[in-house]
Amino acid sequence: MVIRCFFRQASTVTKKRIPKTQAEAASSSGRQRNSRHEIVNQQLCDQILDRIKTTLPAPHSCDLIDIYPGEGLWSRALHAILKPRRHVLVEPALSTYSVHLDTLLSPKGTPYRHTNLLEEAFDPTQKMLSKYDTDHDEASGKIPRLNPSLLITANLSGAPLRIANYTGTQSRKFFDDLYLSLWKIRGNIHRYGLVRVLAWVPDGEKDAYIPRTVAARRKQSIMLEASYAISEIAGASNDTKLTRFTRWPDIDVQDHIRVAAEEQTRGLKTPESRREQIPQPDLLSFKPTSKSIRKGAFTSDAEWVFKFMELDDWLKKHDSAWYKRNASGRFRGKHIDSAERNGAERKAWRRLLKVAETRHKTHMKAVGLVKQQRELFAEWKSLVLTAENNTLAPGEEKRLQTLAENLDQQIKKLNRTNKVFAEKAIDDLRAYDMSPPIMWWNKREAEPLIVNDSDFHPPQQSMALLDVVPRPEFLSRIDTHDKMVCFGYVVKTLATHIAGSLADALKSLVHEGYEEFVKTIPSIHDPTKGGWYDLSQLRVRALPAEIFVQIALAYEKWPFRLSIESIIMMSPDPQAAYSLGDDG
């Protein structure tokens, strides 16, 4: 069927024409600006909790801070399985939701508490939590540990925020504060130990925190990738995404098979209605004919497909004899009867099919180069891992470098469309094939449960549930104020060259002394760690988070770097220098 292709195209056009966030769109359609997206399907809540129940604290063992519970369906479901000692509802709009929340707060001896401010939930004088366990805070210079006795859940939908020094979505502000709270700079969520967060975000915003392709990586997602383990528990189907937020379908198919095997090994059962379907191939990957396009077993954002199908339907109905002779796509060239050349529909139909065939051929040439590059990466890494002291013989290394340079030159000769495709596919494969993989999406052990429009109110406002767990090992590396500031500055600087070469990005970071600075980064030339012999061939978006950390640590020790004071004061708001900043 062609519906799959049409749905993808319609989704893309809609999102291109309406650059507003979902919250802004809700506001402009007549709903109150402070309205939130509500989870309204109890079955979805139950299925999510069944998926994650083995990872949750034991009943009666934790306190729960519930930010913006709204109507409280998710809150009740989570409460039922956790049976928390205290359940703090952080709800500034209590009067709006009183019909739903008063029944939780009013009974005598209820574990529920209410506050308007998150800060009050953490304040011992307010006695919101059952206890304020300072044993989990850093003491005697120790790295903070995860605090299993406290859990946070949050609904981060709603209207955009417009406050001092910040304008943007609620989810981005929350994740900004969550990152900074690792150092007690803003919000201080982790004052009693590192806390796990279950965050509902508008589905269209989730790629900022757990991108599925390197092309969607930005400084915020890189900093979060380094400091938190993030998994998507539930979310909308990949079919609804813009092309720039998706990978080459061949990678998605491989990944889908890998995850399905993981789920089978774990005995994980997913309801059919919540299961992501195996991705369809790209339209450009097979020879275009009337039959293959009509079958519609592909994904594409190509606008010509709609026009072609209109022409194809018209010719099939009104010019059936000619259509039957030509529908196979095998044209007779110069031997076509002159009468058959007449007719605007015939000409347009032929022209579209010819253009599609040319694009298919050039695309497959690019695919061939992508596959060669992947084979080269695999061979190079394998040889390094088996070589004595992980060092290749000069002759062997020269052979591989020559192959790499030849491939790089061939890719540069492709037309712009195919060059962009090839570079993106190469970088996504580099991220996918790395051990461990780059990006948390590539590390998942289960597919997210697929949500539907009917699961939420208002309809058409789907949300995704993200499981966010701090990584203490990150704090063992970025363990001082100076290192923290340098890490933020390094990621911010390199991210301005996200699709460019690492060589250019590092030169913009250190200016003079580039060659000497590169020598201080341990894994920068190691292909098994995400590095490469020629940094002009390695794009910033394909770097593992670990190499960003290594660059930051090297920069902190670099004698010619900017001073910490200069880095901080480069921003109009000095505190914002710590921030994840604008992702643009």
pLDDT at 573 over 60: no
pLDDT at 388 over 60: yes
Please tell me whether residues 339 and 414 are part of one structural domain. Answer: yes
pLDDT at 31 over 60: no
The predicted pLDDT at position 25 comes to 38
Instruction: Write out pLDDT tens, residues 259-286.
Output: 999 999 999 999 999 999 888 888 888 8
Please tell me whether residues 61 and 210 are part of one structural domain. Answer: yes
* CA distances (Å), origin 439, targets 353, 427, 489: 38, 12, 20
pLDDT at 459 over 50: yes
Q: Which residue range forms the structural domain that includes residue 338?
A: 285-433
Last residue of a domain, one of 443, 470, 497: 470
Please tell me whether residues 407 and 370 are part of one structural domain. Answer: yes
With the C-alpha atoms ordered 39, 41, 46, 47, is the resulting torsion angle positive or negative? negative
Give domain status of residue 2, yes or no: no
pLDDT at 402 over 90: yes
Q: What's the mean pLDDT in 351-364? A: 89
pLDDT at 41 over 70: yes
Q: What's the mean pLDDT in 534-560? A: 98
With the C-alpha atoms ordered 513, 516, 520, 522, is the resulting torsion angle positive or negative? positive
Q: Give the end-to-end CA distance of the chain in Å, rounded to a whole number.
A: 37
The half-sphere exposure of 339 on its side-chain side, counting CA atoms within 13 A, is 3
pLDDT at 212 over 60: yes
Instruction: Write out pLDDT tens, residues 333-348.
Output: 444 444 444 588 888 8
Q: What's the mean pLDDT in 229-236? A: 98
Q: Give the contacts of 292 (CB within 8 A, at least 6 positions apart).
A: 286
The predicted pLDDT at position 310 comes to 80
Type of residue found at 567: I
pLDDT band at 18 (very low <50, low <70, confident <90, very high): very low
| Residue 116, domain CATH | 3.40.50.150
Q: What's the mean pLDDT in 236-257? A: 87
Q: What's the mean pLDDT in 158-165? A: 86
Which residues are registered as beta bridge partners of 151? 64, 196
pLDDT band at 584 (very low <50, low <70, confident <90, very high): very low
Structure tokens at 208: 């900022």
Q: Give the contacts of 451 (CB within 8 A, at least 6 positions apart).
A: 44, 203, 234, 235, 236, 274, 462, 463, 464
| Per-residue b or e along 205-237, where b marks 16 or more CB atoms closer than 10 Å to that residue's CB | bbbbbbbbbbbbbbbbbbbbbbbbebbbbbbbb
* CA distances (Å), origin 163, targets 23, 92, 169, 170, 173: 16, 16, 11, 11, 10
Q: What's the mean pLDDT in 217-230? A: 97
pLDDT at 494 over 60: yes
Q: What's the mean pLDDT in 381-391? A: 94
Please tell me whether residues 518 and 537 are part of one structural domain. Answer: yes
Task: Please answer whether residues 509 and 493 qualify as being in contact, where contact means their C-beta atoms are separated by less than 8 angstroms.
Answer: yes
Please tell me whether residues 429 and 457 are part of one structural domain. Answer: no
Low-confidence winner among 45-54, 178-187, 424-433 (lowest mean pLDDT) = 178-187
The predicted pLDDT at position 143 comes to 80
pLDDT at 244 over 90: no
Task: State percent of the chain over pLDDT 70.
Answer: 86
With the C-alpha atoms ordered 460, 461, 467, 473, is the resulting torsion angle positive or negative? positive
Give domain status of residue 277, yes or no: no
pLDDT band at 582 (very low <50, low <70, confident <90, very high): low
Low-confidence winner among 5-19, 257-271, 433-447 (lowest mean pLDDT) = 5-19
Question: Phi-psi bin for 91: left (phi > 0), alpha (psi -120 to 50), beta?
Answer: beta
The predicted pLDDT at position 30 comes to 36
- In SS3 terms, 517-558 reads as HHCCCCCCCCHHHCCCCCCCCCEHHHCCHHHHHHHHHHHHHC
Instruction: Write out pLDDT tens, residues 71-104.
Output: 999 999 999 999 999 999 999 999 999 999 999 9
Q: Give the contacts of 554 (CB within 8 A, at least 6 positions apart).
A: 517, 520, 521
The predicted pLDDT at position 29 comes to 36
Type of residue found at 26: A
The predicted pLDDT at position 333 comes to 47
Please tell me whether residues 69 and 196 are part of one structural domain. Answer: yes
Type of residue found at 142: K
Please tell me whether residues 494 and 423 are part of one structural domain. Answer: no
Helix H or strand E encompassing 569? helix 564-569
Helices (H), 387-480: 394-412, 416-433, 472-477
Give domain status of residue 114, yes or no: yes
Please tell me whether residues 342 and 360 are part of one structural domain. Answer: yes
pLDDT at 1 over 70: no
* CA distances (Å), origin 372, targets 144, 365, 368, 380: 45, 11, 6, 12
* CA distances (Å), origin 364, targets 234, 248, 367, 374, 485: 34, 13, 5, 15, 45
Give domain status of residue 245, yes or no: no
Other beta carbons less than 10 A from residue 436's beta carbon: 9
Give domain status of residue 122, yes or no: yes
Low-confidence winner among 9-23, 365-379, 489-503 (lowest mean pLDDT) = 9-23
Task: Return the higher-pLDDT residue of 25 and 382.
Answer: 382
Please tell me whether residues 457 and 567 are part of one structural domain. Answer: no
Q: How many domains does the chain have?
A: 3
DSSP secondary structure, 223-239, as one string: HHHHHEEEEEEEE--GG
pLDDT at 17 over 70: no
| Per-residue b or e along 454-465, where b marks 16 or more CB atoms closer than 10 Å to that residue's CB | ebbbbeebbbbb
| Closest of 464, 454, 467 to residue 203, by C-alpha | 464
**CA-to-CA distance for 133 and 129, rounded, in angstroms?**
10
Task: Please answer whether residues 445 and 259 qualify as being in contact, where contact means their C-beta atoms are separated by less than 8 angstroms.
Answer: yes
pLDDT band at 456 (very low <50, low <70, confident <90, very high): very high
Please tell me whether residues 482 and 466 are part of one structural domain. Answer: no
At 566 the three-state DSSP class reads helix
User: Looking up tokens 């290192």, which residue turns up?
Assistant: 483
Task: Please answer whether residues 501 and 536 qualify as being in contact, where contact means their C-beta atoms are separated by less than 8 angstroms.
Answer: yes
Instruction: Write out pLDDT tens, residues 119-149.
Output: 999 999 999 999 877 655 555 567 889 999 9
Please tell me whether residues 466 and 482 are part of one structural domain. Answer: no
* CA distances (Å), origin 494, targets 63, 497, 499, 552, 576: 40, 5, 10, 11, 18
pLDDT band at 323 (very low <50, low <70, confident <90, very high): confident
User: Looking up tokens 């080269």, which residue turns up?
Assistant: 376
The predicted pLDDT at position 174 comes to 95
Length of the chain: 584
The half-sphere exposure of 461 on its side-chain side, counting CA atoms within 13 A, is 25
Give domain status of residue 165, yes or no: yes
The predicted pLDDT at position 135 comes to 54
Q: In what order do the strands lie in the sheet with 112-115?
A: 112-115, 87-90, 63-67, 146-155, 194-202, 463-470, 228-235, 449-450
| Closest of 347, 346, 331, 246 to residue 288, by C-alpha | 331
Q: What's the mean pLDDT in 302-321? A: 79
The predicted pLDDT at position 188 comes to 79
**CA-to-CA distance for 434 and 440, rounded, in angstroms?**
12
**CA-to-CA distance for 44 and 38, rounded, in angstroms?**
12
Give domain status of residue 248, yes or no: no
Q: What's the mean pLDDT in 529-554? A: 98
Please tell me whether residues 412 and 501 are part of one structural domain. Answer: no
Structure tokens at 11: 């989704």
Give domain status of residue 394, yes or no: yes
Q: What's the mean pLDDT in 3-27? A: 35
> How high does pLDDT run on average in the chain?
87
